[in-house]
Amino acid sequence: MSAITYKCPNCPASLRLDPETQKFVCDYCGSSFTLDELTKKEPAEQSDDFQSKTRLYHCQSCGAEVFTDDTTAATFCVYCHNPVVLSGELEGDMKPDQVIPFKVSKEEVKDKLMAWCKKKKFIDTAFMNNAQLEKLSGVYFPYFIVDGKVQGSMHRRGTKIRTWRQGNYRYTQTDTYQIDREGEVSFEDIPINALNKEHTYILNGIQPFDQKKAVAFEMPYLSGFLADKRNIEKKDAMPTVESTAEGFTRAQFNASAQGYVSFGGGDENYKVTKTVFSYVLMPAWMLTYQYGKDQYFFAMNGDSGKIAGRVPLSFKKLTCLFFGLTAAVAALMIGLGAII
């Protein structure tokens, strides 16, 4: 897998997006540019920019696919660390609508990762060395963000119970109600993973991504980062959209029927009547580590800094702990025996 490169207008070097300033910086000549300065082109050139300047890279080991511009050289795959090779151009419909730019720099990630790891007493120290930390990769992951409407109806039975005492008698009154709810409910900003890949589950731990920070996609935002190609179509994402939207509508209807001792029975029906899809790239810092036969993953939200991951435990440290505890218990038993 490789890093995106975007050429500096003032020299042959590459630009990178500085998450802190949100400018595109050249480390060779010291130039910096805003997005507007980099994208001042003729309209005809702008329309063909994504199609002509993007290439698809394919990892022959794990099957990962990422897109980058036409000047990038392959390095390693962020998932399995094997080399990747250029395989072809992307189709135009793979161009994202929006992107949430990286706000957390690589140096900040290293500091936060080290602080996080130091809280793990039995972590394998090789996971924390500089050579390993250099493999940190900023990756844009593909998501569908879906807005829409649901037409729903719910018919339930609810009961309310009232008790009181009069003289020597205690009375209980049970009232049964027919509860009907019908209407159209709007939903927005439902995030749907648009990448079918084994290890994307770790992204659940660093959500949510703030959709309000999404901006119109421009190629320079990929400078210095990787970007995964989506491999899920809208029609394949619809079952997840429907399930999520129906659950949201059911919760809205249920919330409007409070105060019942029991609530259930009857029937319900929900139908998604309208959907609007946006294809958005979400930022995440990724680090993989091979320990024995297992592969471990660390991830950080590239905007909020939220961390998730599973780190390798050191067999040596655990063994020392085991023998240390065994020795302590043995010494205690000997001491108790001497006292007795």
Residue 58 · residue 65 · CB < 8 Å = yes
Considering only residues 327 and 123, tell me which one the structure prediction assigns the higher pLDDT.
Answer: 123
Neighbouring-strand partners of residue 187:
148
What pLDDT is stored for residue 239 in this prediction?
Answer: 95
Q: Could you tell me if residue 136 is inside a domain?
A: yes
Work out the average pLDDT over 270-294: 87
Helix (H), strand (E), coil (C) string for the chain: CCCCCEECCCCCCEEEEECCCCEEEECCCCCEECHHHHCCCCHHHHHHHHHHHEEEEECCCCCCEEEEECCCCCCCCCCCCCCCEEEECCCHHHCCCEECCCCCCHHHHHHHHHHHHHCCCCECHHHHCHHHHCCCEEEEEEEEEEEEEEEEEEEEEEEEEEEEEECCEEEEEEEEEEEEEEEEEEEEEEEEECCCCHHHHHHHHHCCCCHHHCEECCHHHHCCCEEECCCCCHHHHHHHHHHHHHHHHHHHHHHCCCCCCEEEEEEEEEEEEEEEEEEEEEEEEEEEEEECCEEEEEEEECCCCCEEECCCECHHHHHHHHHHHHHHHHHHHHHHHHHC
Q: Could you tell me if residue 174 is inside a domain?
A: no
Q: Could you tell me if residue 157 is inside a domain?
A: no
Q: Could you tell me if residue 268 is inside a domain?
A: no
Task: Report the percentage of the chain scoring pLDDT > 70.
Answer: 67
| Least confident piece of the model among 220-234, 290-304, 306-320 | 306-320
Q: Could you tell me if residue 299 is inside a domain?
A: yes
Q: Is the pLDDT of residue 292 over 60?
A: yes
Work out the average pLDDT over 271-298: 85
Structural domain count, the chain: 1
Q: What is the pTM of this model?
A: 0.70
Q: Could you tell me if residue 81 is inside a domain?
A: yes
Q: Is the pLDDT of residue 45 over 70?
A: no
Boundaries of domain holding 74: 6-147+186-243+276-309
What pLDDT is stored for residue 298 in this prediction?
Answer: 82
Considering only residues 289 and 44, tell me which one the structure prediction assigns the higher pLDDT.
Answer: 289
Q: Could you tell me if residue 224 is inside a domain?
A: yes
Residue 66 · residue 58 · CB < 8 Å = no
What pLDDT is stored for residue 204 in this prediction?
Answer: 87
Residue pLDDT, tens place only, 98-130: 999 999 988 888 888 878 777 766 566 666 666
How high does pLDDT run on average in the chain? 77
- Please compute, for residue 133, the number of CA atoms within 13 A of its CA located in the half-sphere on the CB side: 14
**Rounded Cα–Cα distance for residues 154 and 152 (Å):** 7
Q: Could you tell me if residue 289 is inside a domain?
A: yes
Residue pLDDT, tens place only, 139-165: 889 999 999 999 999 999 999 999 999
Residue 225 CB contacts under 8 Å (≥ 6 apart), including other chains:
3, 4, 17, 102, 137, 138, 139, 140, 283
